[in-house]
Structure 1
């Protein structure tokens, strides 16, 4: 294999470190990760990692660490606000997908990745705010807010929905999706009202006033979180920050939606949860991009930098992890140094085609979670029930959960 050029990865969240590890472990390729935060970021909330995401974590060597700090499960149960079962999705399955799904805090995943970077001798430079990129025929120069500069043959932007790398290579604006989420974490399962015994967990519950999920989130399943995604009027970034900080208002939004028309344990958990622990998250989207690379293809976008959309399909982190592993195999192609324009174009088409399908799946989930009139809600519930009667527990989602990132080599 020909020598691979030096790589700079901007973003030390999940996708960026996963790319660096995949490059080093699979192909012996070195890189440096530059992260905006001054140290490991412990903020964030619990996330769901479906088998297609967990598979990448195993490939880069952190799955066993993460698995013991989250809740592994196979069945995701669905019911309505009257506690009537609508169906069960086999969201994880060692038999069908080799892995269960995992509910875990985002910061746990990031820390495991960063710890493995350190163990592998891959440098991570914290506190680096990118301010400018200058791309030449043979290299890219990065300039940071502290006045320092770095140079790399290729730069990978893995710096999230408000990506500075993306802003440096094209004119785009992120937009509010029309949805937000509210989540409460750290609830002891034993404290739930006895009506929770009638609803197996993890569970999605649909009603005329919206949607709420209750999911175990620790290894033994003794701690749960609850979250709801919902349409909400747009606000400025400053106004979103103010709303998220107003915990009384955030709790009022929950209480208005989940009253006595829901199972008692849902009413209690939304009414009595310590409001200071609630997190409100507006969902921003990146508009469909014509390309995920700079014109000279020496700057490449992955994860939310390239295709952020709402997390209502539970695939946000998964898509970034898939991007990372598929790109690592692309960068390691024997002809990459001389044929990178063609190879990156092929990678981009492959990922774009898949992302369109995932976006459609996510948008459908969003529509099913939207409050509606009684008759429309009844129709939606019948559609959910009918789908599982027709497809069985797999839900015709083998294309989603069974994806193998290493299959990218077939497109070259």
Structure 2
């Protein structure tokens, strides 16, 4: 094991810890995780983990912990603002994908991963702000804001859309996607207006003023969240922060879209929900990168550091988890030390091709969720209905939800 490369992972969110666990548990490779936050970060919102994401959590040994703190489901229902059914997507399926889909808070997933790192003896150092990288022929030096430094054979950047690792190895500029999201969590299902009984949950509701989702998020399904993604004018970082803090304004945005001509339970929830609990999230994107590695291939990007895009396909965390497991199999290849340039090229090509497909899927979802004229909305609803009449509840989504990260070894 002494000849295996020593790895430094920058970013202790989801993808970074998953990579560290996969390396240790399946390949015996050690690593160290550096996290910007001073301690475990309880911020964040509920996220959806499709079977391709859940599979990775199972492989790294945290799924059983996470599963009991979220809502597992198979059927995602789609309807219109008149509560008419448009279709039913089998988003999870033990039969077809081995796993159900899971709705859970992001912080729960991160904590489970960090707890497992501790069990496995993998060090996590909090409060480490990366300021500089020096890449040499056989190693990389990391410099931190507190004046300390470290050295590793390879550095993995898993530090998100505004990645400092990415900035250190290439010139890129993140940009606002044109979409933002608003989410409210912790709603008791029994408090919903009786009109909620007319549609099964979880449900995506489409109308001419946009889209809103109602998703159970507790293990028993007795607690739900609601969210909407929508086009919204660009703002500066400071202006976004100001808007997010102005809860009255955030609620006004919701009520303007969903205050009437929607099922009563949606109108009520946007009006009556405690506005202080609303979260507003602008979506930023990383432009398509020519490469996910440094010139010398000793610095590697995964997750949002490499390919952040809007979460309208419910695949943001999943892509980072897939990156992590596929990279762990790449780093553990018997010839990696002598042939890492070729192996990383293969990994990078495989992942970038898949990400292009997922990005196209996400962009299509964004268009379906956007406000439109009554006629265009009628056309979109017919297209959604027709798609599921043609494809059935699988929706031709096997390529997405049935992905096995371990299959990367076939390409080597």
Partner of 1:401: 401
Tell me the distance in 2 between the aligned counterparts of 1:290 and 1:74.
36
The within-5 A match list for 1:14-163 is: 14-163=14-163
The within-5 A match list for 1:105-254 is: 105-254=105-254
Tell me the distance in 1 between the aligned counterparts of 2:52 and 2:260.
38
Partner of 1:410: 410
1:384 match: secondary structure: helix
Partner of 1:323: 323
Deviation at 1:3, TM superposition (A): 2.5
Q: Deviations over 1:63-102 (max 9, x none)?
A: 0000000000000000000000000000000000000000
Tell me the distance in 2 between the aligned counterparts of 1:3 and 1:201.
52
Deviation at 1:2, TM superposition (A): 8.4
Tell me the distance in 1 between the aligned counterparts of 2:365 and 2:33.
34
Q: Deviations over 1:232-291 (max 9, x none)?
A: 000000000000000000000000000220000000001100000000000000000000
Tell me the distance in 1 between the aligned counterparts of 2:3 and 2:225.
47
Deviation at 1:4, TM superposition (A): 1.4
Tell me the distance in 2 between the aligned counterparts of 1:359 and 1:226.
24
Runs (4+) of structure 1 exceeding 4 A deviation are none
Partner of 2:384: 384
Q: Deviations over 1:305-346 (max 9, x none)?
A: 000000000000000000000000000000000000000000
2:358 is the alignment partner of 1:351: no
Q: What value does the CA root-mean-square deviation take over the aligned residues?
A: 0.6
Partner of 1:293: 293
Q: Deviations over 1:154-196 (max 9, x none)?
A: 0000000000000000000000000000000000000000000
2:266 match: secondary structure: helix
2:262 match: secondary structure: coil
Tell me the distance in 1 between the aligned counterparts of 2:396 and 2:2.
41
TM (norm. structure 2) is 1.00
2:408 match: secondary structure: helix
1:131 match: secondary structure: strand
Tell me the distance in 2 between the aligned counterparts of 1:190 and 1:164.
45
Structure 2 gap ranges (5+): none
2:213 match: secondary structure: strand
Cα pair 1:2 1:334 within 8 Å, conserved = no
Tell me the distance in 1 between the aligned counterparts of 2:358 and 2:38.
33
1:282 match: secondary structure: strand
Cα pair 1:12 1:35 within 8 Å, conserved = yes
Tell me the distance in 2 between the aligned counterparts of 1:294 and 1:384.
42
Tell me the distance in 2 between the aligned counterparts of 1:99 and 1:297.
35
Structure 1 gap ranges (5+): none
Partner of 2:268: 268
1:182 match: secondary structure: strand
2:312 match: secondary structure: helix
1:141 match: secondary structure: strand
Tell me the distance in 2 between the aligned counterparts of 1:162 and 1:378.
38
2:99 match: secondary structure: coil
Q: Deviations over 1:351-408 (max 9, x none)?
A: 0000000000000000000000000000000000000000000000000000000000
Tell me the distance in 2 between the aligned counterparts of 1:17 and 1:142.
18
Q: How many residues align?
A: 412
Tell me the distance in 1 between the aligned counterparts of 2:39 and 2:192.
36
2:122 match: secondary structure: coil
1:97 match: secondary structure: coil
Cα pair 1:2 1:335 within 8 Å, conserved = no
1:219 match: secondary structure: coil
